[in-house]
């Protein structure tokens, strides 16, 4: 056999040769190992619990309300399985297919209560958003509650979740006066 001077002729000559049995077995073993390794390759998705249907606020979650999906990227505060969510109430309404986070759940603590507060400054009431943290101040300048979580906003009324003792004081004060809130 003579080797040609051009690279194309060399490739043609080598491609006409039949590979040895050992080489074919080595290649088959390599392909089989690749197939097995891709079968056991971990899923690159991130498991998250989503709402199976549209859910209203306050509903106590059941297993039928939830389903597990795999997301392309992680979402902070999501749950990898539904065991922690069953029986817990929703703080706000949610749409089907939306990942549920720790922020979507209502507090189940007996020490917490929610109270509606009429905010004195309407401009500030428009700035306060769901999940904001605020301090509640009376018209005399007394701090009635610190670090209260905003649960809902409707016009000049803001629903706050705070310790039960503070909620009672805030509710009593809000009967007579509009209260101020300061953003944290």
pLDDT in tens, 105-125: 876 667 778 888 888 777 776
Query: In the chain, where do the E strands start and end?
Result: 46-51, 66-71, 112-118, 133-137, 143-154, 157-163, 180-183
pLDDT: which is higher, 93 or 28: 28
Q: What SS3 class is residue 54? A: coil
Q: Percent of the chain beyond pLDDT 70?
A: 93
Structure tokens at 76: 């902070």
pLDDT the model gives residue 3: 54
Average pLDDT, the chain: 82
Whole-angstrom Cα distance, residue 47 to residue 69? 6
Listed range (38-42, 111-115, 164-168, 176-180) with the worst mean pLDDT? 38-42
pLDDT: which is higher, 183 or 131: 183
Q: Percent of the chain beyond pLDDT 90?
A: 10
Mean pLDDT of 160-170: 84
Mean pLDDT of 145-149: 84
Contact call for residues 148 and 133 (beta carbons, < 8 A)? yes
pLDDT the model gives residue 1: 52
pLDDT the model gives residue 43: 61
pLDDT tens digits, 19-76? 788 888 998 999 999 888 887 776 668 889 999 999 887 778 889 999 999 888 888 8
Query: How many residues comprise the chain?
Result: 184
pLDDT: which is higher, 178 or 99: 99
Contact call for residues 103 and 131 (beta carbons, < 8 A)? yes
Listed range (41-45, 139-143, 150-154, 166-170) with the worst mean pLDDT? 41-45
Contact call for residues 122 and 183 (beta carbons, < 8 A)? no
CA distances from 149 to 116, 153, 166 (A): 12, 11, 13
pLDDT the model gives residue 49: 92
Q: Which CATH class is domain 46-99?
A: alpha beta
pTM of this prediction?
A: 0.47
pLDDT band with cut points at 50, 70 and 90 for residue 151: confident
What is the domain partition of the chain in residue ranges? Answer: 46-99, 112-183
Place of tokens 């817990």: 88
């Amino acid at each position: 056999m003579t080797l040609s001077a051009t690279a194309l002729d060399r490739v043609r000559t080598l491609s006409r040769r039949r590979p040895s049995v050992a080489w074919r077995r080595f290649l088959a073993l390599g392909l089989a190992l690749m197939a097995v390794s891709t079968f056991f390759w971990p899923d690159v998705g991130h498991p998250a619990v989503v709402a199976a249907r549209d859910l209203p606020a306050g509903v106590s979650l059941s297993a039928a309300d939830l389903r597990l999906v795999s997301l392309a990227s992680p979402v902070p505060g999501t749950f990898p399985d539904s065991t922690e969510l069953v029986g817990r109430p929703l703080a706000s309404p949610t749409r089907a297919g939306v990942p549920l986070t720790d922020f979507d759940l209502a507090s189940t603590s007996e020490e917490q209560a929610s109270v509606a507060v009429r905010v004195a400054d309407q401009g500030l009431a428009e700035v306060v958003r769901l999940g904001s943290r605020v301090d509640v101040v009376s018209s005399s300048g007394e701090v009635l509650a610190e670090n209260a979580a905003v649960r809902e906003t409707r016009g000049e009324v803001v629903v706050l979740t705070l310790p039960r003792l503070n909620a009672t004081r805030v509710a009593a004060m809000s009967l007579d006066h509009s209260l101020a809130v300061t953003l944290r």
